[in-house]
């Protein structure tokens, strides 16, 4: 496909000044057929001011749908405007050639279903993710050495051909956020699609704040159990639940703030609670 249309979907929720930096970097992209839409999950800060000042199209959901539901709505709303969807967090800086290089990789083979760049930490420039490795009974881990084996692309910035959504379906809203990328790509493998890292493309990712790290422990725990239950056997599920329970108990003894979130994730998995979680 010559010069496919890329619709960049930037999902925002109270991103603050990070959104301004992200949009300015995307605006400077050298890829000529990229269109940018900001999806907003009910932000209460002033982050959308930057998007409107820069002239970007904004779609407001007016409530926090979570990562999966917001993108699924966008896939439906904008299906006629894209050959590729590029899912983007708002806390990134994207160098001008990154999208060009990712599109080139995605266009080379119809079995390529997900393309990601090398992700670096914005402050240190160390590699944050060069893919995700996952095995049953274990938590997914980021690959930090380019060229090592990986099983999925981290969802903070990932290019997805529209044909993947049409054939495989969208993101699983059970997950809401966290590990939904691994589940989606695991599901897509059965349809013949594979993830690929564009080794010559890179982006820079801000580190999450303390609150996001703590709530992230909840989603990672709950969703790791869901992921294992969906795609692995009962022995693997017992193994990961036991490991996480021991980690949570040890964290309580040591006074680690993330421990209660981890244990709550295990409780909610047991109760069958899924989707977005409202924290106090």
Domain encompassing residue 12 = 6-205
- Nearest Cα neighbor of 81 from 173, 4, 166 is 4
How far from the centroid of its chain's Cα atoms is residue 155's Cα? 2
Task: Choose one of 180, 205, 230: the last residue of a domain.
Answer: 205
Instruction: Give the angle 121-123-124 at the CA atoms, nearest 5°.
Output: 70
Alpha carbons 192 and 211: distance in angstroms, whole number: 38
- Nearest Cα neighbor of 47 from 21, 81, 75, 73 is 21
Please report whether residue 29 resides in a domain.
yes
Using a 10 angstrom Cβ sphere, with 0-12 exposed, 13-18 middle and 19 or more buried, the burial of residue 20 is middle
Alpha carbons 195 and 159: distance in angstroms, whole number: 10
pLDDT of residue 103: 98
Task: Choose one of 177, 205, 233: the last residue of a domain.
Answer: 205
Q: Do 265 and 133 have their domain in common?
A: no
Alpha carbons 107 and 101: distance in angstroms, whole number: 10
pLDDT of residue 6: 98
| Tokens 């670096």 found at | 120
> What is the total count of domains within the chain?
2
Please report whether residue 44 resides in a domain.
yes
Q: Do 215 and 138 have their domain in common?
A: no
pLDDT of residue 1: 55
Per-residue confidence of the chain (280 residues) as pLDDT tens digits?
579 999 999 999 999 999 999 999 999 999 999 999 999 999 999 999 989 999 999 999 999 999 999 999 999 999 999 999 999 999 999 999 999 999 999 999 999 999 999 999 999 999 999 999 999 999 999 999 999 999 999 999 999 999 999 999 999 999 999 999 999 999 999 999 999 999 999 999 998 877 678 889 999 999 999 999 999 999 999 999 999 999 999 999 999 999 999 999 999 999 999 999 988 7
CB contact at 8 A, 226 and 182: no
Q: Do 77 and 214 have their domain in common?
A: no
Q: Do 178 and 44 have their domain in common?
A: yes
- Sign of the C-alpha dihedral computed for residues 1, 113, 131 and 258 taken in this order: positive
pLDDT of residue 235: 96
Q: Do 186 and 265 have their domain in common?
A: no
pLDDT of residue 208: 80
| Tokens 């998995």 found at | 269
* pTM confidence score: 0.95
Q: Do 119 and 246 have their domain in common?
A: no
């Amino acid at each position: 496909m010559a010069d496919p249309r890329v619709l960049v979907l930037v999902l925002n929720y109270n991103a603050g000044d990070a959104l301004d930096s992200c949009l300015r970097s995307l605006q400077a992209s050298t890829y000529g057929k990229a269109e940018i839409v900001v999806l907003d999950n009910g932000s209460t800060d002033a982050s959308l001011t930057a998007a409107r000042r820069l002239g970007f199209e904004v779609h407001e959901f007016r409530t926090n749908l979570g990562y999966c539901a917001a993108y699924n709505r966008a896939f439906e709303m904008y299906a006629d405007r894209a050959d590729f969807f590029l899912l983007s967090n708002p806390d990134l800086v994207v160098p001008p050639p990154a999208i060009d290089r990712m599109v080139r990789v995605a266009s080379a083979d119809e079995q390529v279903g997900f393309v990601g760049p090398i992700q670096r930490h914005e402050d240190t420039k160390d590699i944050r993710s060069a893919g995700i490795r996952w095995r049953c009974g274990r938590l997914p881990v980021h690959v930090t050495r380019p060229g090592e084996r990986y099983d999925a692309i981290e969802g903070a910035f990932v290019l997805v051909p529209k044909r993947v959504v049409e054939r495989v379906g969208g993101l699983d809203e059970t997950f809401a956020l966290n590990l939904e990328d691994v589940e989606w790509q695991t599901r897509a493998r059965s349809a013949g699609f594979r993830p690929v890292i564009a080794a010559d493309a890179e982006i820079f990712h801000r580190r999450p704040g303390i609150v996001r790290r703590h709530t992230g422990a909840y989603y990672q725990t709950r969703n790791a159990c869901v992921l294992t239950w969906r795609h692995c056997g009962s022995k693997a599920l017992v193994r990961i639940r036991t490991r996480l329970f021991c980690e949570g108990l040890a964290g309580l003894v040591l006074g680690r703030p993330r421990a209660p979130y981890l244990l709550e994730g295990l409780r909610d998995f047991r109760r069958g609670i899924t989707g977005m979680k409202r924290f106090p």
